[in-house]
Amino acid sequence: MTEKHFEVIVVGGGHAGTEAALASSRMGCRTLLLTQNIETLGQMSCNPAIGGIGKSHLVKEIDALGGIMARAADEAGIHFRTLNARKGPAVRATRAQADRALYKTAIRNALEEQPNLLIFQQSVDDLLVAGDRIEGVTTQMGLSFYAPTVVLTVGTFLGGVIHVGMEKREGGRAGDAPSNRLAARLRELPFQVGRLKTGTPPRIDGKTIDYSELESQPGDEPRPAMSYLSTGEEHPRQVACHITHTNEKTHDAIRAGLDRSPLFTGEIDGVGPRYCPSIEDKVVRFTDRSSHQIFIEPEGLNTREVYPNGISTSLPYDVQLDLVQSIKGFEQAHITRPGYAIEYDYFEPRDLRTSLETRYLAGLYFAGQINGTTGYEEAAAQGLVAGINAALSVKEEGLWCPDRSQAYIGVLIDDLITLGTKEPYRMFTSRAEYRLVLRQDNADRRLTAIGRKLGLIDNDRWRMFSEKEAGIGALSKEMASRWVQPGDAKFENHLGKPLSREYNLLDLLKRPEVEVESLLSLAGLPDNNAGVSEQVEIDCKYAGYISRQQQEIDRVRSQHGLGIPKDIDYSGVAGLSNEVSQKLHEVRPETIGQAARISGVTPAAVSLLLIYLKKHKASAALKSA
Partner 1 sequence: MYEKDTIVALATPLGKGGIGVVRVSGPLVTDIANGMIGGIPEERIATFTSFLDAGGSPVDQGLALLFKSPRSFTGEDVLEIQGHGGPVVMNLIVERVVELGARLARPGEFSERAFLNDKIDLSQAEAIADLIDSASNQAAMSAMRSLRGEFSRKVYHITESLVQLRTYVEAAIDFPEEEIDFLEDPRVNSGLDALIEKISDLKNEATQGALLREGVSIVLAGRPNAGKSSLMNRFTGTDTSIVTEIAGTTRDVIDEHVHLDGVPIRLIDTAGLREGGDPIEIEGVRRAVKEIDQADFVLIVVDLGAHREDLNSHVEQLMYEIPNNAPYLVVLNKSDIWQPTTVDLSCEYVLTSAVTGVGIDVLKGRLKEGIGYTVGGEGTFIARSRHLDALQRGLEALSKGKTAFADSRAGELLAEELRRCQLALGEITGEFTSDDLLGRIFSSFCIGK
Ligand X SMILES: Cc1cc2nc3c(=O)[nH]c(=O)nc-3n(C[C@H](O)[C@H](O)[C@H](O)COP(=O)(O)OP(=O)(O)OC[C@H]3O[C@@H](n4cnc5c(N)ncnc54)[C@H](O)[C@@H]3O)c2cc1C
- Closer to ligand X by CB, 89 or 349: give it: 349
Secondary element (H or E) of residue 506? helix 505-509
Q: According to the binding rule CB under 8 A, does residue 553 interact with partner 1?
A: no
Point out which span in 130-138, 165-173, 276-284, 368-376 binds partner 1 (CB under 8 A). 276-284
- Closer to ligand X by CB, 25 or 369: give it: 369
Strand partners, 164: 167
Query: In 3D, which of 87, 94, 96, 67 has the Cα closest to residue 436?
Result: 87
Q: According to the binding rule CB under 8 A, does residue 284 interact with partner 1?
A: no
Q: According to the binding rule CB under 8 A, does residue 242 interact with partner 1?
A: no
Q: According to the binding rule CB under 8 A, does residue 429 interact with partner 1?
A: yes
Point out which span in 107-115, 129-137, 286-294, 328-336 binds partner 1 (CB under 8 A). 286-294
Q: In this structure, what are the phi and psi dihedrals at residue 85, rounded to the nearest 5 degrees?
A: -60, -30
Contact 408, 438 (CB under 8 A): yes
Q: How many residues bind partner 1 (CB under 8 A)?
A: 56
The whole-angstrom separation of Cα 271 and Cα 346 is: 11
- The crossing angle, in degrees rounded to 10, of helices 55-64 and 408-419 is 110
Q: Among 521, 571, 615, 620, indicate the residue that binds partner 1 (CB under 8 A).
A: 615
Contact 383, 17 (CB under 8 A): yes
Q: According to the binding rule CB under 8 A, does residue 620 interact with partner 1?
A: no
50-53 long-range contacts, Cβ below 8 Å, gap at least 24? 50/77, 50/95, 50/96, 50/98, 50/103, 50/226, 50/376, 50/377, 51/93, 51/94, 51/95, 51/96, 51/226, 51/377, 52/83, 52/93, 52/95, 53/83, 53/84, 53/91, 53/93, 53/428, 53/429
- Three-state secondary structure call for residue 151: strand
- Closer to partner 1 by CB, 32 or 598: give it: 598
Q: Which does 572 bind (CB under 5 to 8 A by kind): partner 1, ligand X, none?
A: none
Measured between alpha carbons, how far is residue 28 from residues 24, 127, 215, 394, 455 in Å?
7, 24, 50, 10, 8
Secondary element (H or E) of residue 245? strand 241-245
| Residue 132: CB minimum distance to ligand X, A | 22
- The crossing angle, in degrees rounded to 10, of helices 376-394 and 15-26 is 30
Subset of 499-528 contacting partner 1 (CB under 8 A): 512-513
| Residue 6: CB minimum distance to partner 1, A | 39
Subset of 105-164 contacting partner 1 (CB under 8 A): none
Binding mask 294-313 for partner 1 (x = CB under 8 A): -x-------------xx-x-
The number of beta carbons lying within 10 Å of the beta carbon of residue 366 is 27
| Residue 124: CB minimum distance to ligand X, A | 4
Q: Which does 581 bind (CB under 5 to 8 A by kind): partner 1, ligand X, none?
A: none
- CA geometry: angle 456, 460, 462, nearest 5 deg: 60
Mind spelling out the 3-state secondary structure of 527-540? Answer: CCCHHHHHHHHHHH
Q: Which residues make up the interface to ligand X (CB under 6 A)?
A: 11-17, 34-37, 40, 45-47, 123-124, 153-157, 172-173, 176, 179, 182, 198-200, 276, 342, 368-369, 374-376, 379
| Residue 164: CB minimum distance to ligand X, A | 11
Q: According to the binding rule CB under 8 A, does residue 459 interact with partner 1?
A: no
Binding mask 51-90 for partner 1 (x = CB under 8 A): --xx----------------------------xx--xx-x
Query: Which residues are near partner 1 by CB under 8 A?
Result: 47, 53-54, 83-84, 87-88, 90-91, 273-277, 282, 285-286, 289, 292-293, 295, 309-310, 312, 419, 428-431, 433, 435-436, 512-513, 545, 551, 554-555, 558-559, 562, 574-575, 599, 602-604, 607-608, 610-612, 614-615, 618-619
